[in-house]
């Protein structure tokens, strides 16, 4: 016999709603994680690749992929590989175009680029990574891994370390514990203790360096953009090849980088205001 709603051992409405929400969140989370795998893959994955990476049952994975393909956020090519779909690119384009933070920062990025002649980056901190929101290329051709929409580990990028320096010690320690340190170059900070020491130096001088820590031959100087009332924590940087970015040049760029970061924070306060 079904239990009545007055049965103290039966599920109440709140329990049922919570279980339903958890199930929906779990399903959506798996789909987003699957989409993320496809979007981040260096080589377009096949079904068998995704099966190994996700550990999901074959039938569940097939259903999720089919739904994502039908929605146009991923594509299945004739040779059986999955790639980001055109609809996903449309979402990204609209998000980029309408991002208020990027729009506020844009004129300051342009001025910084005109002042230095080098590549300028704008990024936001997302857990332990930096997501690049904007980039103005150097007038001189230099190949870099960074692209708008891509992410990079915060511990080995100038913008990332600048943003991390604004966190309180408890939050910084918690994030460091979640980081998986990988040595991209001989200069990469490979331990949490090394990162904490570098953060202390960044806090003292007010700006961060990336001294070929993420990509060989590439250096940068960065400053944090921290607007807690607007929910924004990120940074801005000037990046150049090592042969054009010696210690003296990086120090010289630090002042205009910090000035641009402060101007962006001031504009955020005036134009975006606090989140409600």
Residues of the chain with CATH 3.30.450.40: 99-271
Backbone angles phi, psi at 275, to 5 degrees: -75, 140
Instruction: State the virtual CA torsion across 240, 212, 260, 132 in degrees, nearest 10.
Output: 90
Q: pTM for this one?
A: 0.68
| Under 8 Å between Cβ of 164 and 194 | no
Q: Which tens digits make up the pLDDT trace of 257-270?
A: 999 999 999 998 87
Least confident of 9-18, 36-45, 66-75, 248-257: 9-18
3-state secondary structure of 100: helix
Helix (H) or strand (E) holding 110: helix 100-116
Tell me what the mean pLDDT of segment 149-157 comes to.
91
Each as own residue / partner, the long-range contacts of residues 33-40 (CB below 8 Å, 24 or more positions apart, any chain) are 34/61, 34/64, 34/65, 34/68, 35/68, 35/73, 35/74, 35/88, 38/74, 38/82, 38/83, 38/84, 39/84, 39/88
Q: Which tens digits make up the pLDDT trace of 44-63?
A: 889 988 988 888 888 888 88
Query: Taking 50 as the threshold, does the pLDDT of residue 7 lie above it?
Result: no
| Under 8 Å between Cβ of 225 and 206 | no
pLDDT: which is higher, 78 or 95: 78
Q: 13-89 maps to which CATH number?
A: 1.10.10.10
Tell me what the mean pLDDT of segment 119-134 comes to.
93
Q: 99-271 maps to which CATH number?
A: 3.30.450.40
Residues of the chain with CATH 1.10.10.10: 13-89
Helix (H) or strand (E) holding 145: none
Query: Taking 80 as the threshold, does the pLDDT of residue 120 lie above it?
Result: yes
Backbone angles phi, psi at 136, to 5 degrees: -115, 120
Measured between alpha carbons, how far is 267 from 114 in angstroms, rounded to an integer? Answer: 20
């Amino acid at each position: 016999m079904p239990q009545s709603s007055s049965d103290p051992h039966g599920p109440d409405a709140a329990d049922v709603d919570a279980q339903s929400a958890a199930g929906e969140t779990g399903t959506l989370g798996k789909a987003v994680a699957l989409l993320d795998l496809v979007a981040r893959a260096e080589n377009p994955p096949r079904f068998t690749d995704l099966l190994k990476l996700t550990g999901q049952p074959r039938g569940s994975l097939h259903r999720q992929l089919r739904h994502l393909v039908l929605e146009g956020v991923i594509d299945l090519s004739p040779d059986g590989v999955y790639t980001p779909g055109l609809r996903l690119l449309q979402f990204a384009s609209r998000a980029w175009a309408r991002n208020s933070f990027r729009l506020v920062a844009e004129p300051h990025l342009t001025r910084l680029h005109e002042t230095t002649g080098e590549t300028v980056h704008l990024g936001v901190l997302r857990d332990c990574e930096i997501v690049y929101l904007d980039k103005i290329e150097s007038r001189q051709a230099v190949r870099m891994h960074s692209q708008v929409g891509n992410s990079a580990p915060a511990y080995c990028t100038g913008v990332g370390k600048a943003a991390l320096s604004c966190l309180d010690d408890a939050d910084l320690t918690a994030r460091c514990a979640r980081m998986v340190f990988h040595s991209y170059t001989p200069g990469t900070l490979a331990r949490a203790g090394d990162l904490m020491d570098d953060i202390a130096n960044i806090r003292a001088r007010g700006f961060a360096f990336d001294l070929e820590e993420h990509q060989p031959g590439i250096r940068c100087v960065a400053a944090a953009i921290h607007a807690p009332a607007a929910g924004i924590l990120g940074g801005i940087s000037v990046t150049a090849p090592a042969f054009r970015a010696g210690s003296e040049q990086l120090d010289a760029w630090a002042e205009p980088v910090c000035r641009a970061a402060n101007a962006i924070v001031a504009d955020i306060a005036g134009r975006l205001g606090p989140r409600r």
